[in-house]
A and B are shown apart, each in its own frame.
Chain A
């Protein structure tokens, strides 16, 4: 087993994991029902068009109704992720050019920010917007909506915590990298610190950041759930919460999992390639 075969196999194993998660609740009620639900889920996986959900007595097909909230959530999630990463990189770059003592102070502030629960951060941002509204009578962005799409504020709220986490990790990685011998060599050759950071350190840090991003993404997913609830957004987690059955839950989780699996597989593949090429150069 090598190359793409292995990825296909890993994918199948991970899918089995998801299907099993979809069934967990059932174990609680009856083991017998488990096998029936497993069958149901497998059947619906192959007949997606037939899957339905019930709103106030009327039965509707899940597809394409689920697509719209799904795309909405994914947009919010990925834009927030990108904003988080980009702002963390920029902040780290600026921070590393500062004095040692200032960096230590910043680290402590970041530690406190990172320790705050997500609900608290989301509420702080909302409270801030309300505060500005009370003071200046201008509503910067709509805060809560009824089945209407808002982007700016949810994305900002969702991006704050990952940005802080990426920032913290990046500072650690950067500090470690700066102690590597190649940095000393580059400095000895007369390169400026800002240039070394940008051209060499950042590139090496990107790889470890990629691996760290997985756990941060997981964290963001549960933030997304709370965010959609507090802002009253109709996204994928709201859909799953309101119309929850084992089949719909499995499909929903699968839809969240699928793009992430592709991104991470491609990413890992690319990193391996890069490493091989580097090795070949030497």
Chain B
């Protein structure tokens, strides 16, 4: 029972509770509180005197403070959690899915061209993913004076597609290399000798070996997508599009929901001010969820590398076997040979 053992691992458990807690809180906020954000423009004391005006510093009532519109940062970030995390999870899922398909194809039929394919994909190693994603997505996500060229759904899908496609070459090669490692093992040779087809070997021998690795690659991809989202947000490309105010009173760029990359981008101007916590809050959320994902990954790695449970199982079975053997045997006096007591 790997799942049971996973939840016994403290690292995995902590990571899981953080991620699961964030998402649950976000949905609770949506369905119970109807996405309402607390908004306070002025803080008055008991006499009705002004203490503070928005942006309000972090306090007991507003753990992460409020932005210049008096909206509670914590609530906005919680509300945005679902979009950000679910987007990252699904992009990572499709990345791994397509990469497995390509990686298997590569590992099975194209290994002859390995040297050249690897060099070709190597080129991807020299461009920051954020830069090329920015290059492609800027015209799609950043509102021009003419408005957006695509609808909201189209923008989300296109952004997802770009983030998926850009990672596929490197991830496929990674998976193909894993497959190649397994193919070099001795039992594959015996399977081949016994007449196993390529498909049979893939399904029966390589698949079980890869499952654990895939889980790790998936986790790493989630982290990577979150990082790219944070970077894009910093460069003012928000998940689902950046709304830009082109009137003379130009407001700061806005995001449609409270997803985190938008929160980073639109709070960037507070960076070198007294209210820099406005900028730190969304980054803190990114950092915490990335850390939690890494905790889960590390926990998973430790659990899958840990072989003590196998030993325990073996010991248990040996014990059971011994008990069984004993229960069937009745001890009687004629089973023993009586010897003369050794006495001088």
Contact = CB atoms under 8 A, between A and B. Distances in A.
Interface of A: 9-10, 13-18, 20-21, 24-25, 28, 111-112, 114-120, 123, 127, 143-144, 214-215, 217-218, 221-222, 224-226, 229-230, 237, 240-241, 244, 249, 253, 256-257, 260
Contact of A111 (B115, B283, B298): B298
Given A28-B136, A249-B135, A253-B127, A119 B122 contact: no
Contact of A10 (B119, B138, B234): B119
B284 to A, nearest CB: 8
B187 interface: no
B264 to A, nearest CB: 8
Contact of B136 (A20, A24, A241, A257): A24
Interface residues of B, number: 45
Contacts, number: 115
Nearest to B158: A28
9 smallest CB-CB distances across A and B, nearest first, come from: A17-B123, A222-B128, A115-B294, A25-B136, A257-B126, A17-B120, A120-B287, A221-B128, A10-B119
Given A10-B119, A17-B120, A24-B136, A119 B234 contact: yes
Q: Decide if the interface of chain B is mainly helix, strand, loop or mixed.
A: helix
B235 A241 contact: yes
A224 B295 CA distance: 26
Contact of A225 (B116, B128, B284): B128
B274 to A, nearest CB: 11
B126 A226 contact: no
Nearest to A245: B135
A24 B130 CA distance: 14
Nearest to A223: B128
Contacts of A9: 116
Given A14-B122, A225-B128, 10 more contacts: A13-B116, A14-B119, A17-B120, A21-B124, A24-B136, A25-B135, A222-B128, A237-B128, A237-B131, A241-B134
Given A10-B119, A237-B131, A119 B126 contact: no
Contacts of B295: 115
A137 B138 CA distance: 41
Contacts of B290: 115-117
A110 to B, nearest CB: 12
Contact of A224 (B119, B128, B140): B128
A176 B116 CA distance: 32
Contacts of A237: 128, 131
Contacts of B120: 13-14, 16-17
A214 B119 CA distance: 13
B183 to A, nearest CB: 21
B130 A226 contact: yes
A215 B125 contact: yes
Contacts of A221: 126-128
B116 A10 contact: yes
Given A13-B119, A241-B235, A119 B230 contact: yes
A18 B123 contact: yes
B102 interface: no
Contact of B131 (A17, A18, A225): A225
A21 B127 contact: yes
Given A17-B119, A117-B287, A241-B134, A226 B231 contact: yes
Interface in B105-146: 115-116, 119-132, 134-136, 138, 140
B233 to A, nearest CB: 9
Nearest to A24: B136
A115 B132 CA distance: 23
Contact of A253 (B115, B122, B126, B286): B126
Contacts of A249: 135
A16 B116 CA distance: 11
Contacts of B123: 14-15, 17-18, 20-21, 257
